Structure 1
């Protein structure tokens, strides 16, 4: 009997232990963590670290704060403007078999319609507000903006430029989303409500809108932001507050760098027992003494009084301030040397690696933000200017970093030598060689005087490498092609 009783009790205890186990452990999952209750260390214990929380503030939606910071805070303004300006600084180089004259026509269209300026503006508002857009203005399409863009309906000279609007004051995405999985914009709004400054509103199809999105967000947060992204200000706001408060406190400490102390033997009694008139007279006396000290450096006091100064030491504040600057720089993805204009610190520090990382980051943003917009825009501009889209229409971004004269000369020398070698081998004709030199002028500034007439007069045969070139306006360049290796 005792064995059966013990067995039943053991079964009950086992069942009780199973029932008391958390569901995570019953499903084979264990939550491993450190905890020392007596020392108040680890998960779930009452200490300062465990009270830390990260609430979802969605600071991007505070439109007034974004405007205030951009207008009044130089660091925020530089964070917003710096990267877009570098993204657009050296712009693009067309890669197409178009004649040089046609390329110049295309570039004039860019300048005439201020495309680069408007895209730069859209990138800035995208970073500030989390999203922006630019509507392509095509003459004759005013009443069909809600229809998909058809290239065949773009008449010559009809492209008039871009109108930029941010997510709060111009472009509002519709509830319909693009359901075509083959579309690059799958899942994004199919239409936008475009509010103009005169108060009118239009429904615009997404194919007519160049869309720029801020920091990417998870799906549910993207829905909360109406398919836009997060503002760059949201990334740096907490670190910005720490830096600003530290800066203001350091400025306040400057006024306390030299504190003057006057010890009076009977001050306590005078304040405690004296009437209002006596206290007023004491205050007047101290004010006059302070004025004498400020004007003449003279302090007058009773023989039992004592006067001395206390000087404040600022050691260590510089390191704290610089660390906050580094935090802001890291959050903004901009080197301290560029964001704050500081020279590189440390022995043999040049800042080249920091700038190279920055240029790589800017290049990545060009690919993710500018390329989708340019892939939409360039065919429209080509149809407007030429009446057709070249089959090989392509582009690449020019290098972001400015080159020194020595670096530029080295690049030009290598490129010209390559052209000369291929020309001397009979693989290139004179005309093609001049075209290659003319194309170099876009990025190097060399050979800018080669004209379309010079190229037309050049020989187009591929077997004239050993013959004399005809005398043309570009004879200096032609002779250079002949004699650079001699």
Structure 2
């Protein structure tokens, strides 16, 4: 009976150890993200695109400089990416208000917002201190959170922060009975199933590469091979195989003994490309991001432009932005406006303000002209109707108040009487 170990040693030699060491190592989600590449792109692309074109705070032009100073948009993008990766993100507001972090934020003495620090859901846990008044909307909600800092090369530390100083970006919806952390805004990661699909795609690439390596397989029929192995002459066999391979690589030809035989067998690669394409579609299906945006591929097919995929992707980004980061941004803007320097500024800035995000897809010159034309025609019809209403008994004062309320012709709506501090407290 032939010695199997001797056969492997004779034919493979040192390559046997390399083959044993090869394999597809299973990494957890955080490790996959840390390596970058496709897993990181799946997590990052939606938050990064969401804030890529900036934001405008309509009605108060003082806020823009503060957004830049505090790096609000990068903080929101980071909090959203950690929410996608771990199930939640948190922004801790470092404020100069005369109180400690574990105390409620003092809006009356809010002098300045100093910094925004972003943490993942894994860094945050709820303490046992919760709101206990059943008549309040926050009944049972955590009042103080424990936050752990994990700086590389430093000893892990923790601090306590009051919920009024923490702005959450929730994960995807999760039934309350499955919430193990006791944090009401904790959700499920958005990319868990996507990472499984990415692992399958990675395995597909791995085996496709192995198949490509073996596409042309050399078969060397050697007289006396079994006898040489039985007499422990593996090194002689190995030397003979290496000589044949070396000659083939150098001269693209092989010389063998008349009683030996040497053949090259070519494997069929058909279907591999289609299989990998299906793996890519599976990744796109699990992430909700079209294949061109994930893999950088152009749309294929007759008359394919990819505009439909891009439009769907932008709709996904806009919907997530509205749900995930708009509430956090509204809270931050209200805190910025409640700062002592802005809240007492006597420059006539009204209390009416709104968040305006630019279109994710910039309009072409032609599209912009068509939009302006449509708006102008609609405004002309509205003014004709308003003029007719004045002719039929509507007073000019009433017409003016309507135009001001709608913000027509550059008129600024009246403030609703709510101060920046009271609005910040309400949000």
- 1:298 Cα deviation from its structure 2 partner: 2.5
Give the secondary structure class of the aligned counterpart of 2:39: helix
Aligned to 1:296: 251
Aligned to 1:71: 34
- 1:319 Cα deviation from its structure 2 partner: 1.4
CA distance in 1 between counterparts of 2:289 and 2:368 reads 26
CA distance in 1 between counterparts of 2:116 and 2:157 reads 18
Aligned to 1:81: 44
Aligned to 1:137: 94
1:11-26 alignment, distance < 5 Å: none
TM-score by length of 2: 0.74
Deviations along 1:238-289, one digit per CA (max 9) or x if unpaired, are 22221111110001111111112222344334434xx234x43232222212
- 1:113 Cα deviation from its structure 2 partner: 1.8
* TM-aligned CA distance change 1:175 to 1:236, over 3 Å: farther
User: Could you tell me whether the CA contact under 8 Å between 1:192 and 1:205 is conserved in 2?
Assistant: yes
Structure of greater Rg: 1
Deviations along 1:383-412, one digit per CA (max 9) or x if unpaired, are 225216953222233222233343234335
CA distance in 2 between counterparts of 1:286 and 1:386 reads 82
Q: Unpaired segments of 5 or more residues in structure 2?
A: 1-26, 388-398, 412-427
* TM-aligned CA distance change 1:111 to 1:351, over 3 Å: same
Aligned to 2:302: 347
Q: Unpaired segments of 5 or more residues in structure 1?
A: 1-63, 437-486
Kindly indicate whether residue 265 of structure 2 is the aligned counterpart of residue 310 of structure 1: yes
1:95-134 alignment, distance < 5 Å: 95-96=58-59, 98=60, 103=61, 105-134=62-91
CA distance in 1 between counterparts of 2:137 and 2:288 reads 27
- 1:293 Cα deviation from its structure 2 partner: 1.2
CA distance in 1 between counterparts of 2:81 and 2:56 reads 22
Aligned to 1:217: 174
Give the secondary structure class of the aligned counterpart of 1:194: strand
Superposition RMSD on alpha carbons, in Å?
Answer: 3.2
CA distance in 1 between counterparts of 2:41 and 2:223 reads 56
Which has the higher relative contact order, 1 or 2, with Cα contacts under 8 A spaced 6 or more apart?
2
1:278-289 alignment, distance < 5 Å: 279-289=234-244
Give the secondary structure class of the aligned counterpart of 2:180: helix
Kindly indicate whether residue 206 of structure 2 is the aligned counterpart of residue 248 of structure 1: yes
User: Could you tell me whether the CA contact under 8 Å between 1:423 and 1:433 is conserved in 2?
Assistant: no
Kindly indicate whether residue 137 of structure 2 is the aligned counterpart of residue 174 of structure 1: no
- 1:183 Cα deviation from its structure 2 partner: 7.1
1:70-469 alignment, distance < 5 Å: 70-96=33-59, 98=60, 103=61, 105-143=62-100, 145-155=101-111, 158-169=112-123, 171-178=124-131, 188-195=141-148, 201-224=158-181, 226-227=183-184, 228-272=186-230, 275-277=231-233, 279-384=234-339, 385-387=341-343, 390-412=350-372, 414-415=374-375, 435=410
- 1:341 Cα deviation from its structure 2 partner: 0.9
Give the secondary structure class of the aligned counterpart of 2:371: helix
User: Could you tell me whether the CA contact under 8 Å between 1:210 and 1:373 is conserved in 2?
Assistant: yes
CA distance in 2 between counterparts of 1:126 and 1:271 reads 60
User: Could you tell me whether the CA contact under 8 Å between 2:148 and 2:159 is conserved in 1?
Assistant: yes
User: Could you tell me whether the CA contact under 8 Å between 1:261 and 1:308 is conserved in 2?
Assistant: yes
Aligned to 1:33: none
CA distance in 2 between counterparts of 1:238 and 1:66 reads 9
CA distance in 2 between counterparts of 1:184 and 1:374 reads 22
Give the secondary structure class of the aligned counterpart of 1:126: helix
CA distance in 1 between counterparts of 2:125 and 2:218 reads 61
User: Could you tell me whether the CA contact under 8 Å between 2:57 and 2:64 is conserved in 1?
Assistant: no
User: Could you tell me whether the CA contact under 8 Å between 2:104 and 2:164 is conserved in 1?
Assistant: yes
Deviations along 1:190-228, one digit per CA (max 9) or x if unpaired, are 221234568664432212211012222111211357552
Give the secondary structure class of the aligned counterpart of 1:164: strand
- 1:180 Cα deviation from its structure 2 partner: 6.5
User: Could you tell me whether the CA contact under 8 Å between 1:359 and 1:400 is conserved in 2?
Assistant: yes
User: Could you tell me whether the CA contact under 8 Å between 1:115 and 1:161 is conserved in 2?
Assistant: no
CA distance in 2 between counterparts of 1:399 and 1:180 reads 43
